[in-house]
Amino acid sequence: MTVLIDADTRIVVQGITGHQGTVHTRQMKLFGSKVVAGVTPGKGGTTVEETPVYDSVQEAVDRKQANASCIFVPAPFAKDALIEAVDAGIRLSVVVTEHIPFHDMLVMYHYARARGARIIGPNCPGIAAPGAPSKVGIIPNVVFRPGRIGVISRSGTLTYEIVNGIREIGLGQSTCIGLGGDPVVGTSFVDGLELFEKDPDTDLVVMVGEIGGTAEEDAADYIRHHFTKPVVAYIAGRAAPPDKRMGHAGAIITRGRGTAQSKQTALEGAGVRVGRFPYEMPQLVADVLKEKARR
């Protein structure tokens, strides 16, 4: 079992004829994903990477039974692309696009949620389930190995590094979810933990957080009261200067909350093992799994 995507996920790529859309359509197909259609208004009837292109998402749903979307369209048009996908019946949209205006994302979030649809992102690497196999987004294919470790992350490149390290010690992933680094995202750590709690094929969850916001503190509260599986975490930004925005738009510290130390303290208080450096994470995962097996 996987989380959110599986072997039956049928992907439509919005913005497929752009450079990024074309490159990552190829990579998703190489991973084993079912990319069944692309959408670029005005370019219907063409093909990209042997994938038919349509003028609308509704056409892709009607003709190819697409049930998930990967959005690569430029930021000024991302809101309209997401609304079009939701209106066509798509219930999972991965928004890779960055620099989406704050208020646009507020509209997108509530529009999707009111209609029972889920957004991953924006400004995210996407989601991958190596055992399905299925991938929606831009995470490199080579870092994965099928297994029983769930991964939830705010950082793209740290996700790749830690997932690859887990693979190199002989362990693998059930599903990896890249949440995105903007102040407002469609799926949170708590949302991801709820999904992994229900997944019988996930034994342990790795959280990759960073300074800014309170998402990790919220996750710690959820873990303390509701989560039954072991969690290992890494928080980026321990050396960040006070009151300095680092990297993602969501990496903003406010009134003492959102610091690396406050997040680490909250997570450790919930029983989470927190690594100091990314390279420590694979061995920390292995140690926690051994402790779990001995109980």
Angle (nearest 5°) at CA 186 between 157 and 227? 80
Number of H helices and E strands in the chain, helices first, is 9, 14
Sequence-separated (6 or more) residues with CB below 8 Å from residue 165? 278, 279, 281, 282
Angle (nearest 5°) at CA 39 between 38 and 40? 130
For the question of residue 110 being annotated catalytic, the response is no
State both tokens at 3. 């989380």
Strand 51-54 versus strand 47-48 pairing type? antiparallel
Q: Tell the residue number behind the tokens 């994965």, with chain if given.
A: 144
Sign of CA dihedral 27, 29, 34, 39: positive
Q: Is 29 exposed, middle or buried (0-12, 13-18, 19+ CB in 10 A)?
A: middle
Of 288, 266, 179, give the one whose Cα is nearest residue 220: 266
3-state secondary structure of 32: coil
Active-site hit among 24, 110, 226, 248: 248
Which of the residues are catalytic?
A: 248
